[in-house]
Amino acid sequence: MNILFLLQPKSDVALLTDTTPAADALPAFAQFRFSAVPVTTSDGKYFGTVTAADFLSFVLDNETASEKTVGEILDRANNPPVKITAKLDDLLLLVMDHNFVPVVDDRDCFMGIVTRKRIMRYYYYDRLSGK
């Protein structure tokens, strides 16, 4: 199965850029109760995923996030993207550790996310129920 069927397009995803001041991004995490948000570059390429833990670690180590950008505090090794050509079964191991999997095209431009909930729903309703 093609993962496009489950893709939540970037137009429907909360996004930050790598140059967003960390102090501006932090209130959104509290207001919307995000645990993680995809981060792109100004030209739309996937940069990484910033997590609430990234903010907490940074603040505990540095006391303030006011001088830093989102791109400077996130752990780039966390939540790597998959290509749009990935198979759904390949995503299962990734969503065990993350709420969503970032999806990029062949140019590494961010296309959207596939959420754990959508994958679980697909396997439960479509695959297991025989639909």
Q: Total structural domains in the chain?
A: 1
CATH number at residue 97: 3.10.580.10
Torsion of CA 39, 95, 82, 20, to 10 degrees: 0
Q: How many CA atoms lie within 13 A of 10 on its CB side?
A: 17
CA distances from 103 to 18, 22, 25, 60, 74 (A): 17, 24, 22, 31, 18
Q: For the chain, list residues with pLDDT below 70.
A: 1, 61-66, 127-131
Range of the domain at 66: 3-128
Q: Given CA atoms 63, 19, 15, 41 in this order, what sign does their dihedral have?
A: negative
Predicted local confidence at residue 113, as pLDDT:
97
The pLDDT score that the predictor gives to residue 84 is 94
Supply the pTM of this predicted model: 0.86
111, two tokens = 């296309």
Per-residue confidence (pLDDT) for residue 31, from 0 to 100: 81
